[in-house]
Structure 1
Amino acid sequence: MSFSFGFANAELSDDELLPTPFVADNEGVQERPNTLANPLDAEWLKSTDIPQPAVVPLDKLLESLDDVRLSFEEVQTPQQAIKLFRRELFDVKHQLMSEDNAESDSPDQRAELDILMGETNEDVRKNVYEGGLKSWECSLDLVDFLSSQGPKSWPRVAELGCGTALPSQYIFSQYLRQESHLGLRLLLSDYNESVLRLATLPNLIIAWAKQVLSQEQWAALQQTRDENIAIMEDELQLTQELLSAFRDDLKQKNIELYFISGTWSRSFLDLLKEIGWTPSPELLLLTSETIYQPETLPVIAELLLELISESLRGGYPFKAYTAAKDIYFGVGGSVAEFEQYVSSKTRERSLPLQLTTHKVNAGLKRSIVAIE
């Protein structure tokens, strides 16, 4: 199955530029019982046609970016005008073209590459690509919402279906701005490893460089191999020295970055335990634009509930925020379906959770569902 959401802008829809104040909505939705087994254990999630969850080491991602020149733009959130940085989509395509090796690509890799290159005019293709190179509206809504909650340091943050990872970038930048050394463990999960490599990590590196480096360092670290390289405000040459400075600064500031590609399933949760990421004290869970398919909506809901349950068992504080369009026309997912599922499971399992939906007033109705 494939489809396009049909936004006017190549990367953001027009109504993201409009003011979008939040309004809390605690009205319940009509619920229906769910008698299925836990969706995280579904057999189809174990299929060899679906990328299984796997840790992608930071060093592996950094090596793939050595000597890459990034072109990027500054974007602002619609309500709070929070400044964020995002690699240009054309620049991602340029890197992909320079790396293209059609002879060695598998059919699945070729299909993914064609979508990433824009050859198929698709935003998403089931079991192949989940739209991670674009910055969807709700990710900016989530940044505004986090800002509206006031300053708060979360030692462990997981963004599920991170894509360009703008909410995580906001958390990351806030931590850098505080000049804290208390520690930040940031987990970034996306279906496609290529998205983690081409968008997720580059956006964090750009945000780090813009915030941490002086003008002299900005220039010097880019010119270590060639002093004649042009220094631009919206481009960044990823020399080995710059990437080493990034890695060293993370260590000095007690920041740990974890990257996981592949589908969500029971194996995903097992993997988190293997790497010592769960149970997590003071856990913040973030996800946006991940409930658009009825088939996978219960999977992300159960993943959130499983992680929340681990925090409850350990007596740790937590929050989980899910940002989404109220209705995904032509696809089937909706905020109401998500609310219904989480509410029914909360009652069924006697979980002491509060579900609050914050409505975003915009041309295309959107919401943020908070589980606390």
Structure 2
Amino acid sequence: MEEENQENQKQVIETKKIQLENRLKSIEYVTNIRQVINLQQMSFQYNEKNDIIKNVYEGGFKLWECTLDLLQEGQNIFQDKNVIDLGCGHGLLGLYAMQEGAKQTVFADFNIEVLNMVTKKNLELNFGFEKINKKVAFLSGDWENLPEKMKQKQNDIEVDENFSKNTSYPEIFDVLLMSEVIYNQDNYQKIVNLCKNIMNPNGGICILANKLFYFGCGGSMPEFTEFLEKNYAEIFEFETLEFINNKKGNKREIFGIRRRQ
């Protein structure tokens, strides 16, 4: 019965490839999310109409628009770097970093179901586990708990015959990647705390891709920038790396945060 279920799961996997400009490699990801997660046990009731359920589900099954912006922006800074994809969802930013030669990559999402059902599958589609067992780790839960999990070398992904837990990942990262995370004003301080606690103070960077405004949610890039200027201008320097205005929808921004030297 177990083998039959596994075979049925394989049959329903549908994927799509993202071909990035000026790059030979593409990134493949699962597209039929509803069918995939219906085969698994969930700790919460997932509804495609709800992008986010506060403190329960933080949108990891959805592929967010600004993730594609950050991929196309094409940062070429990952070679031999330690990278963490925060709020990773599908994990495409972390996968891109791995393709570009990242030394170690950690995928972090609020929901362990997202990591097990989607992120892990996308990792397998693009790399195969045998090549990267010791180069990746997975962490679930609220960002406030990540530094302590890292100290304890936790790795939350389920293990199978093809994948073993990596417990030698770093606690400090050269590159922090985030997409569509400032929709919630509560995340402003959490982002700063991560930059303080896990970003390499000597040349590390946090790169965020967000819509300019999140209507109905409260967060916005102007407000987040003001929050940084008012409270942390002496600690961090920050700048717009790219501004995106296709005149078809909400303007978007790719933003960088570094420690002042």
TM-score band, normalised by shorter chain: 0.7 to 0.9
On the 8 A contact 1:301/1:341 being kept in 2, the answer is: no
Instruction: Flag the 1:306–1:336 CA change in 2: closer, same or farther, 3 A.
Output: farther
CA contact (8 A) 1:184 1:256 kept: yes
Deviations 1:325-356 (A, max 9, x none): 00001111011122122233323xx32x3211
2:72 corresponding residue in structure 1: 144
- Cα separation, partners in 2 of 1:185 and 1:136, compared to 1, 3 Å: same
User: Are 1:303 and 2:194 matched, yes or no?
Assistant: yes
Residue 71 of structure 1 aligns with which residue?
14
Q: Secondary structure at the match of 1:371?
A: strand
1:59-85 superposed Cα distances (whole Å, 9 cap, x missing partner): xxxxxx9654132111345x6687321
Query: What's the CA shift string for 1:156-200, capped at 9, x where partnerless?
Result: 00011000111111112223xxxxxxx721111101111111111
**8 Å Cα contact 1:163/1:196 also seen in 2:** yes
Gaps of 5+ in 2: 154-167
Question: Could you tell me how far 1:301 is from its partner in structure 2?
Answer: 2.9
1:304 Cα deviation from its structure 2 partner: 2.4
Is the contact made by 1:132 and 1:163 (CA closer than 8 Å) also made in structure 2?
yes
CA 1:327–1:83 in structure 2 vs 1: closer, same or farther (change >3 Å)?
Answer: same
Q: Out of 144, 150, 170, which is 1:272 matched to?
A: 150
Q: Partners in 1 of 2:39 and 2:149 — Cα distance? A: 33
Give the aligned residue type for 1:96.
Answer: I
Structure 2 counterparts to residues 335-354 of structure 1, below 5 A: 335-347=221-233, 350-351=234-235, 353-354=236-237
Aligned to 1:293: 184
Residue by residue over 1:14-59, the C-alpha shift from the partner in whole angstroms, topping out at 9 and shown as x without a partner, is xxxxxxxxxxxxxxxxxxxxxxxxxxxxxxxxxxxxxxxxxxxxxx
Tell me if the contact between 1:186 and 1:256 (Cα under 8 Å) persists in the aligned partners: yes
Unaligned runs of 5+ in 1: 1-64, 176-182, 209-245
Q: Does 1:371 align with 2:257?
A: yes
Pairs within 5 Å for 1:36-51:
none
1:360 positional shift? 1.5
Query: Could you tell me which residue of structure 2 aligns to residue 202 of structure 1?
Result: 121
Between Structure 1 and Structure 2, which shows a larger proportion of helix residues?
A: 1
TM-score relative to the length of structure 2: 0.79
- 1:114 paired residue among 46, 61, 66: 46
Matches within 5 A, 1:255-270: 255-265=134-144, 267-270=145-148
Deviation at 1:283, TM superposition (A): 0.8
Structure 1 contact 173–207 (Cα < 8 Å) conserved = no
Q: Which amino acid aligns with 1:72?
A: T
Amino acid at match of 2:46: D
Percent of residue pairs bearing the same amino acid type: 26
Q: Which amino acid is 1:294 matched to? A: Q
Give CA deviations for 1:219-248 in whole Å, capped at 9, x if unaligned: xxxxxxxxxxxxxxxxxxxxxxxxxxx333
CA distance in 1, matches of 2:140, 2:78: 28
Task: Return the alpha-carbon distance in structure 2 between the equivalents of residues 319 and 193 of structure 1.
Answer: 26
Distance 2:26 2:130 in 1: 25
Counterpart residue type for residue 45 of structure 2 = L
Cα RMSD for the two superposed structures: 2.5
Using the TM superposition, give the Cα deviation of residue 262 of structure 1 relative to its aligned residue in structure 2, in angstroms. Answer: 0.8
The alpha-carbon deviation at position 278 of structure 1 amounts to 4.8
Query: Which residue identity lines up with residue 100 of structure 2 in the other structure?
Result: Q
In the alignment, structure 1 residue 96 sits paired with structure 2 residue 22 = no
Query: What does the per-residue CA deviation read over 1:203-234, in whole Å, with 9 as the maximum and x for residues that have no partner?
Result: 111112xxxxxxxxxxxxxxxxxxxxxxxxxx
Distance 1:114 1:371 in 2: 33
Map 1:24-39; keep pairs closer than 5 Å: none
- Asked if structure 2 preserves the Cα contact closer than 8 Å seen for 1:324 and 1:367, the reply is yes
Asked if 1 retains the 8 angstrom alpha-carbon contact of 2:82 and 2:170, the reply is: no
Deviation of 1:277 after TM superposition, in Å, equals 4.5
Q: Which has the higher contact order (CA 8 A, sep 6+)?
A: 1
Alignment deviations for residues 127-163 of structure 1 (CA, whole Å, 9 cap, x no partner): 1111111111111111122x2x446414200011000
- Equivalence for 1:160: 86
Query: Which letter does structure 1 place at the counterpart of 2:37?
Result: L
Residue number in structure 2 paired with 1:135 = 63
In the alignment of these two chains, the number of paired residues is 233
Whether contact under 8 Å (1:321, 1:370) holds in the other structure is yes
Match of 1:24 in 2: none
Give the counterpart letter for 2:38 in structure 1: M
TM-score normalised by the chain length of structure 1: 0.57
- Equivalents in 2 of 1:306, 1:291: separation in Å? 19
